[in-house]
Amino acid sequence: MTNYKNFKIETGADGIAVVTWNMPDKSMNVLTVEVMTELDQIIDQVVADAAIKGAVITSGKDTFSGGADLTMMQEMLARFKKEQKQDADKAVQNLFDNVGRMTGLYRKLETCGKPWVSAINGTCMGGALELSLACHGRVVSDAEGVKLALPEVKVGLFPGAGGTQRVPRLVNQQDALQMMTTGSSLTAARAKGMGLVHEVAPAKKLVEAAKKMIRNGLKPVQPWDEKGFKLPGGAIYSAAGANLWPAATAILRRETSGNYPAALTILKCVYEGLLVPFDTGLKIEQRYFTHILQTTEAQSMIRSLFVSLQELNKGARRPADIKPTKFKKIGVIGAGFMGAGIAYVTAKAGIPVVLIDRSLEAAEKGKAHSADLIAKEMQKGRMTAEDKDKLLALITPSADYAALDGADLVIEAVFEDRGVKQAATEQAEAVLGQNAIFASNTSTLPITGLAKVSQRPKNFIGLHFFSPVDKMMLVEVIMGKKTGEKALATALDYVRAIKKTPIVVNDTRGFYVNRCVLRYMSEAYNMLVEGVPPAMIENAAKMAGMPVGPLALNDETAIDLSQKILKATLADLGDKAVDPRHVELVNTLVDKYDRLGRKNGKGFYDYPARPAKKHLWPELSTLYPQQDADKVDVEVLKERFLVTIALEAARVMEEGIVTDPREADVGSILAFGFAPYTGGTLSYIDGMGAKAFVKLAKKLQKDYGAQFKAPKLLTDMAESGETFYQRFNPYKAADKAA
> Mind listing the pLDDT tens digit for each residue in 391-428?
999 999 999 999 999 999 999 998 878 888 999 999 99
What are the strands, taking DSSP E only, across 394-473? 395-398, 409-412, 437-440, 460-465
Say which DSSP state 221 is in.
S
For residue 147, the Cα-to-chain-centroid distance in whole angstroms is 17
pLDDT tens readout for residues 431-477: 998 899 999 998 778 899 999 999 999 999 999 999 899 999 999 99
pLDDT of 383 over the 60 cut = yes
Say which DSSP state 65 is in.
B
**pLDDT at 736 (0 to 100):** 45
Per-domain boundaries in the chain: 2-294, 330-509, 514-727
DSSP-based three-state secondary structure for 575: helix
**pLDDT at 14 (0 to 100):** 93
- Say if domain 330-509 classifies as CATH 1.10.1040.10: no
Q: Are the C-beta atoms of residues 440 and 414 closer than 8 Å to each other?
A: no
Q: What is the mean pLDDT of residues 98-117?
A: 97
- The values of phi and psi at residue 71, to 5°, are -65, -25
**pLDDT at 734 (0 to 100):** 52
Using alpha carbons, select from 496, 501, 556, 441 the residue that is nearest to residue 670: 501
Residues catalogued as catalytic: 464
Longest dimension (CA), the chain: 86
**pLDDT at 420 (0 to 100):** 87
Share of the chain above pLDDT 70, in %: 99
DSSP calls for 361-374: HHHHHHHHHHHHHH
Helix axes 661-672, 681-688, angle to 10 degrees: 120
**pLDDT at 738 (0 to 100):** 37
DSSP-based three-state secondary structure for 334: coil
Q: Are the C-beta atoms of residues 676 and 669 closer than 8 Å to each other?
A: yes
Please state, in angstroms and as integers, the Cα–Cα distance from residue 724 to each residue in 77, 450, 659, following that order: 19, 32, 10
- Higher pLDDT among residues 581 and 734, named by residue: 581
Instruction: Specify the CATH superfamily of domain 2-294.
Output: 2-enoyl-CoA Hydratase; Chain A, domain 1 (3.90.226.10)
pLDDT tens readout for residues 673-717: 999 999 999 999 999 999 999 999 999 999 999 999 999 999 999
**pLDDT at 509 (0 to 100):** 78
Q: Do domains 330-509 and 514-727 have the same CATH topology?
A: no
Q: What is the mean pLDDT of residues 317-333?
A: 94
B/e letters for 383-395, b = 16+ CB within 10 Å, e = fewer, are beeeebeebeebb
CATH architecture of 514-727: Orthogonal Bundle (1.10)
Averaged pLDDT score across all residues of the chain: 94
**pLDDT at 733 (0 to 100):** 59
Say which DSSP state 619 is in.
G
Instruction: Considering only CA atoms, give the Rg of the chain.
Output: 28
Q: What is the mean pLDDT of residues 170-186?
A: 95
Say which DSSP state 471 is in.
T
Sign, Cα dihedral of 45, 50, 54, 60 = negative
- Higher pLDDT among residues 711 and 70, named by residue: 711
**pLDDT at 737 (0 to 100):** 39
- Higher pLDDT among residues 524 and 320, named by residue: 524
d(CA 372, CA 123): 28
How many CA atoms are closer than 13 Å to the CA of 275, on its beta-carbon side?
11
Q: What is the mean pLDDT of residues 725-729?
A: 95
Q: What is the mean pLDDT of residues 619-627?
A: 95
